[in-house]
Amino acid sequence: MTNALHNSTDSNSMISSSSPSSTIHLQNIVANWHTLAKLSGSAETGVVVKANAYGLGATKIAQALYEAGCRTFFTAHTNEATEIRKAVGPLALVFLFHGLQQDNVDIVISQDIVPVLNSLEQLKLWQKANAPFPAALHIDTGMNRLGLQIKDIADAKDILPEGRIGWVMSHLACADTPEHPMNARQLELFKKVAAVWPQAQKSLCNSAGICLGKDFTFDLTRPGIGLYGGYSRANVFTPKHAITLTAPLLNIFSPEHFEDATIGYGATLPVKPNQRLGTVALGYADGMLRSLSNYGFGYIKGVRCPIVGRVSMDLITLDITNAPSDTSILDRVEFLGQHANIEEQARAGVTASYELLTCLGTRIPRVYEQPEQSS
């Protein structure tokens, strides 16, 4: 799987020595899907490719997963669903989480997109549309965000009886905390309400949900972050990294050390004696969030270098005192990848790996490392 790699890029923008860049490891994403499919047991394993596949490139990733055998794709917005339909062709199932509105009924039906109905209003709209295929139904079992309320189940069954609903879904609020009582409570409630449409397929699990075990996986699972290298559970699931993000050093210097000498905006951090600093062409406009200021890190030739001072819009300063002494201008620093673990970087920024991925900016070209063709 690891040899015979072919690279392609999404972007017309010049990848220059002074620009950030990223490599998207399609073969690792495919490997993560296989691992999650194994954990999903007898359930089919779909993939969540909304938000441009968490920022990494929906078309390329959907195509690689389709090649690997995946046939079910989940999106949030209508134009995401039509992008995926175009990417993977007519044979795949494409779900639309945000469901149905007056102005997307025609495109949903003509593009054969399965709307995930979230309210009685959406159910009535689907009934009226009289589509030649069934819809999915999302029931809110405790997340209190989107989905049909429990009290509306009987009405829903009247509007769309058995046969008109092909899938019943819900979403776990606390799947990444296995011991949280919410998980068992949502599971029991889901079983009860899903039984109202006994012939419909059942789906409850995201990546973390899959790791809760076979009681949760039902007929169809919907991993997202696990594909993209961003969730792990000890002894159960450790994903491969999906992205390597690097940017070049623009400046290397030893700042003058005196009382009140500081680093960066707001003068938040004093200069240390004999400190060596390196400033990198990457900033929060590229998705390295300001919350990483003084806490995040980059790797230079395998050596961890802490972010010092505030992250700026286009620049990050690192303490490179411990980096190899031959480190020089335009050497590239890894901020996400094999060394710079995404979960650890996210914790340093008081956020989640999801957000580090979806915030990656448009100045970062995505170069795709292709999996070996199976044919």
Binding-site sequence positions for substrate: 145, 313
141 belongs to the binding site for its own copies (CB under 8 A): no
Stretch 74-103 residues interacting with its own copies (CB under 8 A): 76-79, 97-99, 101-103
Spatial separation of the C-alpha atoms in residues 145 and 70, rounded to whole Å: 28
127 belongs to the binding site for its own copies (CB under 8 A): no
Stretch 210-269 residues interacting with its own copies (CB under 8 A): 250-251, 253, 255-256, 260-267
Interface residue with its own copies, options 1, 2, 8, 121 (CB under 8 A)? 121
Task: State in angstroms the smallest separation of the CB of 33 from its own copies.
Answer: 19
**Nearer CB in complex with its own copies: 5/76:** 76
Catalytic residue of the set 54, 151, 265, 354: 265
240 is catalytic: no
Q: What is the DSSP letter of 259?
A: T
265 is catalytic: yes
Task: State in angstroms the smallest separation of the CB of 22 from its own copies.
Answer: 15
Closest CA to 78 of 43, 46, 103, 42: 103
Using the Cα atoms of residue 37, residue 43, residue 45 and residue 51 in order, give the sign of their dihedral: negative
Interface residue with its own copies, options 211, 277, 318, 336 (CB under 8 A)? 277
Retrieve residue 331's tokens.
Answer: 């050497």
Stretch 158-177 residues interacting with its own copies (CB under 8 A): 173-174, 177
Strand ranges in the chain using DSSP code E only, listed in sequence order:
7-9, 21-25, 44-45, 47-48, 72-75, 93-96, 113-117, 135-138, 165-169, 201-203, 220-221, 243-253, 262-263, 269-270, 277-280, 297-300, 303-306, 316-319, 332-336, 366-369
Task: State in angstroms the smallest separation of the CB of 199 from its own copies.
Answer: 27
4 belongs to the binding site for its own copies (CB under 8 A): no
Q: What is the DSSP letter of 239?
A: P
Give the rounded distance of the alpha carbon of 118 from its chain centre. Answer: 22
Active site residues: 50, 265
